[in-house]
Structure 1
Amino acid sequence: MSQTPQGASGDRRVLKIGTRGSRLARSQSAMTAALIEQVTGLPTELVIVHTDGDDLSIPLSAPPRPGAFVARLRDVLLDGEVDIAVHSFKDLPFAPMPGLSVVAVPQRAAALDALVSRDALGLDELPAGSKVGTSSPRRASALLRYRDDLEIVPIRGNVDTRIRKVREGRVDAAVLAAAGLERLGLHDEITELIDPKVIVPAPAQGALAVEMRTDDPLAATVAQINDHDTRIQVAAERQVLTGVQATCTTAIGAHSVLQGYSLTLMADLTDHMGVAHAHVARTIGLRRGDPTDDARALGESVAEQLLERP
């Protein structure tokens, strides 16, 4: 597997996989490329694509288009410049893109958020007034509900940049996705995995989405890398996004746990559509076979409960 800048030419027999250029995105895409090579028997090539979300001068609260981290990747996929796009699933808008399909969701990494602190202090141990870095409305609102004596400091940048800001003392701690730290071999940087009852993870956090053109005959083969359990969990979580009509700045969390044929979904919503804050948890039994519709129905039901006015 090789890496080329966007637009480089190559052998048509090589599957071109579009990815963002961050170290984490390239690592995730390389892992996915290895799985795709196994099921297709074809070599792959990573094509680096710069997205609006990579431009730190563009506020994530007002991106030029929905899905700041994925819109440009989808452009080059639709244009045929790449054959496959690999996304962090939590970055995908809930509305489907005409002409494209998520053909596979590989096995999920850790779904939880993680605290990285300079003095190895857990969330309960941070002194009053400690500066905690995050630009996520979901994380910020949950942190202040749990510890209203903390100061939330907006920080952006890749994983390494945010860890460096903790080490340099610009913030006392930062909240990041545990999956990204683990995929980069930075598990030792994690001070604490945050209980999902304190900060409900983003819908589909830790999962990857493999997207292809709907008319690509190779899609059915690539779909073999799909992980059944992950797909079910992600279907429930992302249906919450759809149900509440979330935007990229909505403080929404959704986290599911699958145990046998039992699916539990926890969701949290803050300051959206007249709801100051709501928290819902429900468990259902799943039908055998393909219970994706059951999972989506659970997500829709939880979304409706989140939007109920007291």
Structure 2
Amino acid sequence: MSTTNTAPLKLGTRGSLLARTQSQMVAEAINEATGRQVELTIIRTEGDDVSIPLDAPSRPGAFAATLRDALLDGRVDLAVHSFKDLPSAPLPGLSIAAIPRRSDPRDAWCSRDGVRLEDLPAGAKVGTSSPRRAVGIERARADLQIVPIRGNVDTRLRKVAEGEVDAAVLAAAGLLRLGHEDAITEYIDPGTLLPAPAQGALAVECRTGELAAEMAAIDNEDTRLAVVAERAILAGIGATCTTAVGALASWLHDDRMNLVVEVTAHRGIVYDRISRTGHVSTEDEARALGLSICDELLDQMG
């Protein structure tokens, strides 16, 4: 443990309970690994305004843009993001210094009275504002009604409990981090609905060239390689924040990774699901595995 620099680090975080919980987890991990004290700094982001549709933010990465501004202008030393919310293109001046061990990447089905997806009556309302989740649920149950909902985890769970919707789809990782495992009716099998690229992973972002050595102490290599492979899909097919794309990398044995990707209604692709396996021990190899799937998808695009 190194305690050479004892000045507290300022960690920028959104103000939601989930964001603060995730940031506090990272702060405690940094303190344990390096001895550095970490202070949370609340930053209100564009994505926190629920009156703005997620498909029409003023800037890409609505949940991350203002946090990144605070990093670049020196108000904070690092920021914690839900990695799935970060745009695929890197931002000059900033780097992902650490990716801690990933939580459960799957989506969770949360329904009133514990009714499973397959048992929900025809015409029931399912709440989600994610194009990926919407088309995945429609594939599984075309007889259900998709209702857009926004808000934090507790708000969406309340909409289920109060009958505004009969069920909602949320990231399992967020529910688990908040201690809401009892709200999960079932974990959605990736065979039914692939999670978003990097879902369940956190990204610790810093100014390039700063804190890299210290943040490396909380980095998890298996998670980093998996999310690099998954996120390679986003740039490779020109995905936007409204593209219905899922990706999940899993480790087999002998450094072999299996990557599964599905894309719906994107640039001429009606729907496709592709799986590929390869040897991965570096970020370049992880990225190459993802891009090899992109090559096949690009052949179908108009």
Q: So what's the TM-score if we normalise by structure 1?
A: 0.93
8 Å contact kept, 2:93–2:208: yes
2:299 matched residue in structure 1? 308
| 1:274 CA displacement | 1.5
| 1:306 CA displacement | 2.5
1:109 matched residue in structure 2? 103
| 1:119 CA displacement | 2.0
Match of 1:160 among 140, 154, 157: 154
1:23-63 CA distances to partner (integer Å, 9 max, x unpaired)? 00000000000111123211110000000100011111110
1:3 matched residue in structure 2? none
2:246 matched residue in structure 1? 253
Taking the aligned partners of 1:181 and 1:79, their CA distance within structure 2 comes to 32
- Runs (4 or more) in structure 1 with deviation over 4 Å come to none
1:228 matched residue in structure 2? 221
Matched, 1:121 2:115: yes
Matched, 1:20 2:11: no
Taking the aligned partners of 1:138 and 1:302, their CA distance within structure 2 comes to 18
Match of 1:295 among 272, 280, 286: 286
8 Å contact kept, 1:268–1:306: no
Match of 1:97 among 91, 97, 101: 91
2:171 matched residue in structure 1? 177
1:9 matched residue in structure 2? none
Matched, 1:87 2:81: yes
1:146-204 CA distances to partner (integer Å, 9 max, x unpaired)? 11000000000000000000000110000000000000000011000001111110000
Q: Which amino acid aligns with 1:237?
A: E
1:135 matched residue in structure 2? 129
Q: Which amino acid aligns with 1:297?
A: A
Match of 1:66 among 48, 60, 67: 60
2:37 matched residue in structure 1? 43
SS in 2 for 1:278: strand
SS in 2 for 1:257: strand
Taking the aligned partners of 1:192 and 1:283, their CA distance within structure 2 comes to 28
| 1:222 CA displacement | 1.3
SS in 1 for 2:118: coil
8 Å contact kept, 2:245–2:264: yes
Taking the aligned partners of 1:309 and 1:300, their CA distance within structure 2 comes to 15
| 1:304 CA displacement | 2.0
SS in 1 for 2:79: strand
SS in 1 for 2:300: coil
Taking the aligned partners of 2:179 and 2:168, their CA distance within structure 1 comes to 18
1:263 matched residue in structure 2? 257
The runs of 5 or more residues in structure 1 that have no matched partner are 1-11
Taking the aligned partners of 1:234 and 1:263, their CA distance within structure 2 comes to 11
SS in 2 for 1:124: helix
SS in 1 for 2:119: coil
Taking the aligned partners of 1:291 and 1:108, their CA distance within structure 2 comes to 18
2:3 matched residue in structure 1? none
| 1:280 CA displacement | 0.7
SS in 2 for 1:232: helix
The runs of 5 or more residues in structure 2 that have no matched partner are 1-5
Taking the aligned partners of 1:43 and 1:294, their CA distance within structure 2 comes to 35
| 1:307 CA displacement | 3.0
Q: What fraction of aligned residue pairs are identical, expressed as a percent?
A: 59
Match of 1:147 among 127, 141, 144: 141
Taking the aligned partners of 2:227 and 2:209, their CA distance within structure 1 comes to 24
8 Å contact kept, 2:34–2:217: no
* Residue correspondence of structure 1 range 178-257 to structure 2 within 5 A: 178-216=172-210, 218-257=211-250
8 Å contact kept, 1:269–1:277: yes
Q: Which amino acid aligns with 2:137?
A: L
